[in-house]
Amino acid sequence: MKNKKLTILGITMCSILLLTAGCGKVAKLKNGKEVVGKIKGYTITTEDLYNELKKQGGSQVFLTMVDNYIANKEVKTDKSAEDYAASQIEAYKTQYEQQGQSFSDALVSAGYKNEAAFKDELILNYKKKKASCQKY
């Protein structure tokens, strides 16, 4: 079990290294046979990595990308979207303060870089809801 965790950690670290080492260049694959990493004789190709990523939530990521595109295309960010996000943030801040917790810490724990990133997510969710109500 420990070796499996180390292998997964190694693959993750290799992936991060490969993704960040491009100095702004976009990778262009000629085929899926390029080697992403090797661990004790085990070779992982770009095709292997891509197929595994598809299995582990690829369809959900695809649908999220489509939803985000439609929401941003169909609904402009207006004052009502900004007001909605601001009111939600204030409600969350109040809730966390009443519980004696830090709102900033909660944002970080939830995976947000900062309050602005959380606000962007709230606006996007508002736009998704508005787009679905307009069309359907």
Per-residue H/E/C for 22-58: CCCCCCCCCCCCCEEEEECCEEEEHHHHHHHHHHHHH
List the chain pLDDT tens, one digit each, 136 residues.
555 554 554 565 545 545 545 445 445 556 667 888 888 888 888 888 888 888 888 888 888 889 999 999 999 999 999 999 999 999 999 999 999 999 999 999 999 999 999 999 999 999 999 988 876 6
Q: What is the pLDDT at residue 50?
A: 84
Q: Where do the structural domains in the chain lie, given as residue ranges?
A: 2-55, 75-135
Q: Are 19 and 49 in contact (CB under 8 A)?
A: no
Angstrom distance (rounded) from CA 123 to CA 9: 34
Q: Say what the pLDDT of residue 73 is.
A: 92
Name the DSSP class of 116: H
